[in-house]
A = this chain, B = another copy of it.
Amino acid sequence: MAGRQRTGTPTLEDVAALAGVGRGTVSRVVNNAAGVKDSTRRAVERAIAELGYVPNHAARSLAGRRADAVALVVTEAEWRLFGEPFFAETVRAVSDALADSGMHLLLTLVRGAAERRRFVEYARGGRVDGVLLVSAHGGEPLPDMLAELGIATVLLGRRSADEPVSYVDVDNVGGARTAVRYLLGSGRSAIATITGPLDMYVAQCRLRGYREALGRGTERDAAPAPGAPDDSWVAEGDFTEESGRRAMRELLARHPGLDAVLVASDTMAAGAVHALRAAGRRVPDDVAVIGFDDFPLAQHIHPRLTTVRQPVDEIGRALVRLLLEELEDSAVAWRHVVLRTELVRRDSA
């Protein structure tokens, strides 16, 4: 394949010649380095404008040994999940957070061993300065591979309780606990839950929060605990709508009298609502549903659902901040941030 780059593009040298200075000076001006006389700087800037000079990325990257880009990697075999609002929102948030830093965002999917290997080569090739990793399941090896290669990496969501690699996570236990307490406080007591895939730590945490609120009532503002429900009140889904529907049917079959459900995702909540309706239950009057993720799908299905909102913009900012910090001083300890969630009530509307 022949060279692709437009030829005749002005180079730093052209600018230097036109401005009557050396290349080094132009470089300093372009990079806003201190120690250039103001008049010189202006002359160079004029030349740059006149020539329409734009720095060549490859050269800069080669000389400066950096890429000015970070990869956002989605390790999710089920790409369909990328359609989930949570991913789209995350991409947007990260993109926004990155905008000021001058870095560019590279979106990459890793859906299996082959693509994982391919991405590692890619990263090793120096095309990114760091990696943001979303949707890592329990045993995902990519973060460790990257860490071993010395590539700055930050996860959105831990893989396990003792995640070593840097991460940003939300307080899933607390969010679920708050949701269930709210239900208890509003008079519901037969409360079931639909979890995410239990090989994901996020799903385990939400389940734990549910159990804590029901079984213990450890904190003083907690409603009276009705005793921990057994596993028949728990159904596992995989974050898809269909799984939410199926899980809800199971729960209804086992406990026709249930009057509230905590669902681990927006999409599954939509499925659960369908199943409830099909069973002739009124939502949320007859059965209260609380879904995680304050996003559109479940709201389409029923606008009065209560949700546990994840602060996506803050997640994005935190991810970028951690990554930049890691790039600054590669000495490092791992960095961890856990963000609070927020209950958004709509069912009283």
Q: Which residues of chain A have a CB within 8 Å of any CB of chain B?
A: 1-7, 9, 54-59, 61-62, 64-67, 79, 82-83, 85, 87-89, 91-92, 95, 104-109, 121-122, 124-127, 129-130, 149-152, 241, 270, 274, 296-297, 300-301, 327-328, 330
Contact = CB atoms under 8 A, between A and B. Distances in A.
Given A58-B126, A85-B83, A88-B82, A149 B6 contact: yes
Contacts of A7: 65
Contact of A83 (B62, B88, B124): B88
- How many chain copies? 2
A150 B56 contact: no
A57 B126 contact: yes
B62 A91 contact: no
Contacts of A121: 54
Nearest to A129: B4
Nearest to A240: B296
30 contacts: A1-B66, A1-B327, A1-B328, A3-B64, A3-B66, A4-B65, A4-B152, A5-B126, A7-B65, A54-B121, A54-B124, A56-B125, A57-B61, A57-B67, A58-B126, A58-B127, A59-B62, A61-B61, A82-B88, A82-B92, A83-B88, A91-B107, A95-B109, A104-B108, A105-B106, A105-B107, A106-B107, A270-B300, A274-B300, A300-B300
Given A4-B67, A6-B149, A300-B301, 11 more contacts: A1-B66, A4-B327, A5-B66, A5-B126, A6-B124, A7-B65, A56-B125, A57-B67, A82-B91, A95-B109, A301-B301
A269 B297 CA distance: 14
Top 5 A-B residue pairs of the complex, sorted by shortest distance between their CB atoms: A58-B61, A3-B65, A5-B65, A107-B107, A58-B62
Contacts of A126: 5, 9, 56-58
A23 to B, nearest CB: 16
Nearest to A122: B104
A330 to B, nearest CB: 8
Name the residue among A6, A58, A92, A130 with the largest chain B CB count within 10 angstroms: A58
A67 B92 CA distance: 25
Contacts of A104: 106, 108, 122, 127
Contacts of A89: 83
Contacts of A67: 4, 57-58
A325 to B, nearest CB: 12
A6 B88 contact: no
A208 to B, nearest CB: 29
Contact of A241 (B125, B130, B296, B327): B296
